[in-house]
Amino acid sequence: MKKVVKFGGSSLASASQMQKVKQIITSDPDRRYVIPSAPGRRYSDDAKVTDMLYQCYDAAAAGEDITDRIGRIQSRFREIIDGLNLDLDLSDEFALIKDHFMRQAGRDYAASRGEYLNGKVLAAYLGFRFIDAAEVICFTESGSFDSEKTHEILRERLKNMEQAVIPGFYGAMPDGSIKTFSRGGSDVTGSIVARAVRADVYENWTDVSGVLVADPRIVSNPEVVETITYRELRELSYMGATVLHEDAIFPVRSEGIPIHILNTNHPEDKGTLIVESTCRSPRYVITGIAGKKGFCSINIEKDMMNSEIGFGRRVLQVFEDNEISFEHTPSGIDTFSVLVHQDEFMEKEQSVISGLHRAVHPDTIDLEGDLALIAVVGRGMKAKKGTAGLIFSALAHARVNIKMIDQGSSELNIIIGVRNEDFEAAIKAIYDIFVVAEME
């Protein structure tokens, strides 16, 4: 078997965490390709190395002396190296980084150095080959990820290489300049490498024991999801669940490679397996609950709108003309609503209203802000009758008023709109009715 393993920043924040990582990797010889993040926080009010690098670069761009800032970052790595008893000197690397910062090589270059340096340290500690991601992860002239070029280069580079460390988060433009993915992009790098080597599984090691049914900041000790499909995870990620960078799904999905979310601090836990499809029955009717606050609903009423050909298209054209993306469009016979992010909409609301009047001549337009959207996701909902009824019942019992409900044709998810102030109570109520009640 071949396994690609990615470790997050909290898993690599200190020498003691690095020791846990080595033990995990060496306990299974199939774990052959390792993707590290930059060192994360060691404790709650600690700084992430990536943030330290951003601050250092910004200070250099402002013309400040960055000697002390570079020194603090170097000390973080020296502490890890000394704690691992490694014979590794990064002085030349830091001198080069300082020079590039002073010459303003770019914030992407600055941000990537945490992964680059941590990759050097981890490769030396494991005795694996180090491959600079800038040599194998490619971006186009326009700055978008070049999937097929990367796939060919990586596949050829790793073809006869038994073990390697490839830093996450960054790659290079055609001119050689560093380009990063969005924050959390080390997940994406791991997925790209897994596809290139045709891995049997892509293990993503973090500080939680898998995907949770609900946000632990809202629900106390939520259950861990044992198996989840790519589609379910995509729905939950889109609505705010953050265990895995949502773009990490696509490279492995195209090859049918499962992702296994595991906990570095509790490697004995089963974790969550993310798969294309499964015949395993879910433990609960729902797989997960996720949501976001800060939405606004634009409610359009017009008699006989259902007989107007192109009515919906003309409404959405107004939002496109104002460069506003929409989230959902629930509708009735004489009503059509558009849900958008409130912060995007507020500065353009009057332009949108006037545009709607000109486009569709509505009877009334009503705006309602401060809404939250909650996604209840689960492949088990298809086979379970009365799922929506249970949601209504749970929210009514919690005295939460439903402002909107929208269910996709796949029956994989139900979207509920509530007031911002009811967001937490709604999630707790839904969790209780589908998880706590089924456990009792």
pLDDT of residue 385: 80
315 and 177 assigned to the same domain = no
Residues in the chain: 440
Q: Which of 201, 206, 196, 132 is nearest to 169 (CA)?
A: 132
Identify the domain boundary among 150, 183, 207. 207
Task: Give the Cα separation of 430 and 286 in Å (integer).
Answer: 10
* Position 25 pLDDT exceeds 90: yes
pLDDT in tens, 37-87: 999 999 999 999 999 999 999 999 999 999 999 999 999 999 999 999 999
CA gyration radius for the chain?
25
Q: Which of 166, 100, 105 is nearest to 137 (CA)?
A: 166
What angle in degrees, to the nearest 10, is found between the helix axes of 311-321 and 349-360? 150
For residues 261-269, give the mean pLDDT.
Answer: 96
Is 421 a member of any domain?
A: yes
168 and 72 assigned to the same domain = yes
pLDDT of residue 177: 96
Is 278 a member of any domain?
A: no
Count of structural domains, the chain: 2
pLDDT in tens, 352-411: 999 999 999 999 999 999 999 999 999 888 777 888 889 999 999 999 999 988 876 667
Helices (H), 274-325: 311-321
Q: Which of 313, 280, 277 is nearest to 410 (CA)?
A: 277
By the 10 Å C-beta count (0-12 exposed, 13-18 middle, 19+ buried), 226 is classed as: middle
Residue 90: DSSP 8-state: -
Is 27 a member of any domain?
A: yes
Residue 137: DSSP 8-state: -
More confident residue, 245 or 164: 164
Is 319 a member of any domain?
A: yes
Residue-range definition of the domain harbouring residue 342: 288-439
Is 227 a member of any domain?
A: no
**pLDDT band at 440, cuts 50/70/90?**
low
* Domain harbouring 141, CATH code: 3.40.1160.10
For residues 264-287, give the mean pLDDT.
Answer: 91
pLDDT of residue 410: 67
Is 235 a member of any domain?
A: no
pLDDT in tens, 69-80: 999 999 999 999
Is 275 a member of any domain?
A: no
173 and 307 assigned to the same domain = no
pLDDT of residue 161: 95
Give the chain's end-to-end CA distance (angstroms, integer). Answer: 40
Identify the domain boundary among 189, 207, 225. 207
305 and 182 assigned to the same domain = no
Query: How much is the mean pLDDT over the chain?
Result: 93
Task: Give the Cα separation of 175 and 110 in Å (integer).
Answer: 17
pTM value surpassing 0.95: no
For residues 136-150, give the mean pLDDT.
Answer: 96
346 and 435 assigned to the same domain = yes
71 and 170 assigned to the same domain = yes
Is 396 a member of any domain?
A: yes
Could you write out the DSSP letters of every residue in 329-384? --B-SSEEEEEEEHHHHHTTHHHHHHHHHHHH--SEEEEEEEEEEEEEE-GGGTT-
Identify the domain boundary among 207, 231, 262. 207
* Domain harbouring 408, CATH code: 3.30.2130.10
Q: Which of 286, 290, 279, 282 is nearest to 387 (CA)?
A: 286
169 and 41 assigned to the same domain = yes
